[in-house]
Amino acid sequence: MCGIAGIFRPEGLGEGATALLDTMGEAIAHRGPDAHATWSDAPAGIGFVHRRLSIIDLTEAGAQPMHSPCGRYTLAYNGEIYNYLDLRRTLEDEGAAPAWRGHSDTEVLLAGVAAWGLAETLTRCVGMFAIALWDRETRSLTLARDRFGEKPLHVAVFDGEIAFASELKALKRHPRWSGEIDRQAIAQCLRHGYIPVPRTAFTQAVKIRPGACVELKAGALSPGTWRESLYWDAMAEARAARSDRFAGTGEEAVSRLDSLLRESVSRQMISDVPLGAFLSGGIDSSTIAAMMQSLSTKPVETFSLGFEDKSVSEAGFARAVAHHLGTSHNEIMLSGDEARDLVATMPDVYDEPFTDQSQLPTYLVSRFARSRVTVSLSGDAADELFAGYGRHHSVAKQWSGSPLAGLGRQARKLAASAQIAALVAPAEKRGRSHVGKRSTASLRLRLEERKAQYKAASAVAAYERKFTLLDTADRLVPGTHRETHPLLAEVEAETGWSPLEQASFLDLTHYLPDDILVKVDRAAMAHSLETRVPFLDPAVVRFALSLPDSVRRMNGQRKGVLKAVLGRYLPTDLWDRPKRGFGIPSATWLAGPLRPLAEDMFSPETLARTDMLDPAMVRVFWEDFLAGDKRRANVVWAMFIVQLFLERQGRD
């Protein structure tokens, strides 16, 4: 795991290029504290900087930027290729292997590119990565990202030049960086809690899409002109998996998933530095920890974080699981004050507004784990693959029983329109009778939200509207418009998919890469900790996508097939309990110790200075929340984080 950055100016690099690369590298030094190296070809206009966190092959033979023996390619990359030993043997068997200088996955990756080309190599790779590849022959730069978006890659576009980096903070060091905020991106953040690919919070920068290769060359340096191709397409993968459904018994499904996960965990345990696992005591992390311990000859290091307030702490559950498995368990207990004091620093960690409240405990447990290990495995992605969120099942249940479910798209819209009046009229009547208790603006906003919810003409639309922070978030940011995920229409058109499959797939391609994986990467790499996600092995993903609902909900339970796998390793009473999030008591904090700061962020003076959010609407939400409407808590938290970010940008 590392940090990469670079510049590409086809007309040639100036005298200050090396200093600029060094400055960009310094901005992401936390991603790679072990080594720092730059490379440039001034006449070609290309330069790379690499910050190394040494994991595999700690010698200079694994250092980057790395050049191919043929001299054609130069590579800077961030991540791990878990099946690199298999690829190395394949290259040797095909007579395409160079004279190996070391045993790093970087050298194997570069040899694969020379032998098979980049797209074919990435198709063969099992891993997580963000790649910058310079082709001396074609004088082109290709940027690529792993299938699911585990590793970040951002591009800033200037006139006749681009800069790229693992994190936005490196791009901000470029002298042509303006820092102009993208208002539409802020509206998206208030809608979802994060800024989806390809947007960033800034007009000059975009994110490379997961599974994509982007080729840049002279005359093609912007999203409208560069060549983007997908070496892996989530939609195509899901269609292929669901056209070849798993047709075995429930027990066969459990055995197959057990085998695939064990293989993934085994590969991801390869490391030349200390390795451990996050352990919350829940189903997902317990499965990974259990498999790691079963594959290890010594106790695995496990890490959990608990709060002194037992009502929000899961430390006791993790402790019981660790004791049963025999891991070397590490536990840290924190007060709410310690976590709360970090709130104002999060904009610096994430570089753009990011409102997932579990970012704080993730940041803290990562800092704790780094004191003992350099690599930690996690249980992320299981909920998206095996339909573990309650929202998946509530939409599936609601829509499967709806009379609209069997109708075509246009017929559904007409039928839904006919239902709206009957559903909303009672709410309007109640609203008029309560004007004295709540502001007219607040009531009008609530009625609009209710109408929008009932306008959903499919399970996909219902899911997207119901599980956003605020469906009308564009009204909070004047000059913006309502924007939905581009995959929505495609998923909605898949008539062979169940509502449960549609909802969970949207999270796999939207919520997972833009929220969960961003959260973990930034929180962990802030402390130079590499995280790995065994559930995102391509074979595990393909298998999960092929499972019918009856298997994913085996025994009538969410994630039933995964629970059956875990039951092979741990007694049920250690993990069979209602799902709890890894969050913080944000509503309590906002109404209590954070209230003075929130009042400042929502004051007319600050809102005027940041010049982004509609002051009248902000007051509606804030006053509703203070009046006891906890349904507004998540939206208020998002506004608070956005304002912290904007205020920080104004000071920089």
Write the pLDDT tens digit of every residue in 329-361: 999 988 778 778 899 899 999 999 999 999 999
Question: Could you tell me what percent of the chain has a pLDDT over 90?
Answer: 75
Whether 272 contacts 54, CB under 8 Å: yes
Backbone angles phi, psi at 70, to 5 degrees: -75, -15
pLDDT value at position 624?
Answer: 93
Token pair listed for 117: 């080309």
- Does 423 score more than 50 pLDDT? no
Q: How far is CA 578 from CA 50, 407, 421, 504, in A?
A: 44, 35, 37, 19
CA distance 533 to 529: 13
User: Which pLDDT does position 334 carry in this prediction?
Assistant: 80
33 pLDDT exceeds 60? yes
* The pairing of beta strand 301-307 with beta strand 275-278: parallel
* Topology (CATH) of 246-388+504-574: Rossmann fold (3.40.50)
Q: Higher model confidence: residue 396 or residue 167?
A: 167
Query: What pLDDT, on a 0 to 100 scale, did the predictor assign at position 60?
Result: 87
Tell me what pLDDT residue 74 has.
98
pLDDT reading at 72 higher than 90: yes
Q: How confident is the model at residue 461 (pLDDT cuts 50, 70, 90)?
A: confident
SS3 436: coil
Model confidence band, residue 452 (pLDDT cutoffs 50, 70, 90): low
Q: What is the mean pLDDT of residues 226-233?
A: 97
Residue 468's CB is within 10 A of a number of other CB atoms, namely: 18
> Torsion-angle region of residue 20: left (phi > 0), alpha (psi -120 to 50) or beta?
alpha
Handedness of CA 316, 320, 322, 326 (dihedral sign): positive
Q: How far apart are CA 613 and CA 423, in angstroms?
A: 31
pLDDT band for position 209 (50/70/90)? very high
Other CB atoms within 10 A of residue 335 CB: 11
Q: Is the separation of the CB atoms in 35 and 54 below 8 Å?
A: yes
Q: Dump pLDDT digits (tens) for 520-554.
A: 999 999 999 999 999 999 999 999 999 999 999 99
Tell me the mean pLDDT in the region 171-200: 97
Same fold, 2-232 and 246-388+504-574: no
Task: Identify the residue with better confidence: 442 or 389.
Answer: 389
Q: Which residues contact 252 (CB under 8 A, 6 or more apart)?
A: none
Encode 72-96: b = buried (16+ Cβ within 10 Å), e = exposed.
Answer: ebbbbbbbbbbbbeebbebbeeeee
Kindly report which listed range (103-112, 434-443, 482-491, 518-527) carries the lowest average pLDDT score: 434-443
Residue-by-residue DSSP string for 119-148 = HHHHHH--EEEEEEEEETTTTEEEEEE-SS
In CATH terms, is domain 2-232 a member of 3.40.50.720? Answer: no
In the chain, what are the domain boundaries? 2-232, 246-388+504-574, 585-652
Query: Does 418 have pLDDT greater than 60?
Result: no
pLDDT-derived band at 576, boundaries 50, 70, 90 = confident
The pLDDT > 70 percentage for the chain reads 89
Query: What's the pLDDT at 291?
Result: 98
Q: Is the pLDDT of residue 428 over 50?
A: no
Answer yes or no: pTM beyond 0.85: yes
Give yes or no for residue 185 having a pLDDT over 70.
Answer: yes
- The answer to whether residues 63 and 56 touch, using CB atoms and an 8 Å cutoff, is no
- Is there a contact between 63 and 36 (Cβ–Cβ < 8 Å)? no
Mean pLDDT check: name the lowest of 62-71, 234-243, 542-551, 627-636. 627-636
- CA 48, 51, 53 angle in degrees (round to 5)? 145
Band (pLDDT 50/70/90 cuts) for residue 429 is very low
Average pLDDT over residues 194-205: 97
pLDDT for position 235: 96
Strand runs labelled E in 53-126? 66-67, 73-81
pLDDT attached to residue 338: 79
Residue 329 belongs to what H/E stretch?
A: strand 328-334
CA 127, 128, 133 angle in degrees (round to 5)?
A: 105
Q: Are strands 140-145 and 127-135 parallel, antiparallel or unpaired?
A: antiparallel
Residue 555 burial (CB < 10 Å; 0-12/13-18/19+)? exposed
What is the structure's pLDDT at 580?
64
Nearest Cα neighbor of 252 from 565, 557, 556, 539 is: 565
Q: Specify the pLDDT at position 600.
A: 96
Locate 210 and state its tokens.
């997961």
In this predicted structure, the answer to whether residue 35 has a pLDDT above a threshold of 90 is yes
Task: Tell me which amino acid residue 91 is.
Answer: L
Asked if pLDDT for residue 425 goes beyond 50, the answer is no
Q: Contact, 587 vs 630, CB < 8 A?
A: yes
For 586-609, what is the mean pLDDT? 94
Express each pLDDT in 140-173 by its tens digit.
999 999 999 999 999 999 999 999 999 999 999 9
Mean pLDDT of the chain: 90
pLDDT of 128 > 90? The answer is: yes
If you ran DSSP here, which 8-state letter would residue 534 be given? G
* Band (652; pLDDT cuts 50, 70, 90): low
Region for 99 from its dihedrals, namely left if φ exceeds 0, alpha if ψ lies in -120 to 50, beta otherwise: beta
